Amino acid sequence: MSRGTFKLATWNVNSLNVRLPHVLDWLASNQPDVLCLQETKQEDSKFPYAALKEAGYNAVHIGQKTYNGVAILSPHAIEHVQAGIPNYEDEQKRVITATIKEMRIVCAYIPNGQAVDSDKYQYKLSWLNALTDWLKAELQAHPNLALLGDYNIAPDDRDCHDPAAWVGQVLVSPAEREAFQKLVNLGLHDSFRLFEQPDKSFSWWDYRMMGFRRNLGLRIDHILVSDALKPKCKAAFIDKSPRKLERPSDHTPVILELIQ
DNA sequence: ATGGCTTATTGTATAAGA
List, for residues A28-53, the tens digit of each pLDDT value: 999 999 999 999 999 999 999 999 99
State the pTM of this model: 0.97
Share of chain A above pLDDT 90, in %: 98
pLDDT more than 70, % of chain A: 99
* Nucleotide whose C1' lies closest to the alpha carbon of residue A251: B18
- Mean pLDDT, all residues of chain A: 97
The pLDDT, as a whole number, for residue A2 is 52
Q: Which residue is nearest to nucleotide B6 (CA to C1')?
A: A207
Residue nearest B8 (alpha carbon to C1'): A66
The mean pLDDT value for A246-258 works out to 97
Chain segment A63-90, per-residue pLDDT in tens: 999 999 999 999 999 999 999 999 999 9
Q: What is the 3-state secondary structure of chain A?
A: CCCCEEEEEEEECCCHHHHHHHHHHHHHHHCCCEEEEECCCCCHHHCCHHHHHHCCCEEEEECCCCCCCEEEEECCCCEEEEECCCCCCCCCCCEEEEEECCEEEEEEECCCCCCCCCHHHHHHHHHHHHHHHHHHHHHHHCCCEEEEEECCCCCCHHHECCHHHHCCCCCCCHHHHHHHHHHHCCCEEEHHHHCCCCCCCCCEECCCCCCCCCCCEECCEEEEEECCCHHHEEEEEECCHHHHCCCCCCECCEEEEEEC
pLDDT given for residue A260 in this prediction: 87
Distance A222 CA to B3 C1' (A): 29
Give yes or no: A206 in active site: no
List the A218 CA – B18 C1' distance (angstroms): 9
Query: From the candidates A57, A121, A150, A159, which is the catalytic residue?
Result: A150
* Separation in Å: B3 C1' and A210 CA: 14
Active site annotation includes A123: no
Q: What is the pLDDT of residues A2-15, one digit of tens each?
A: 568 999 999 999 99
Q: What mean pLDDT do residues A231-246 have? A: 97
- Segment A174-215, tens digit of pLDDT: 999 999 999 999 999 999 999 999 999 999 999 999 999 999
* Distance between the alpha carbon (CA) of A65 and the C1' atom of B10, Å: 14
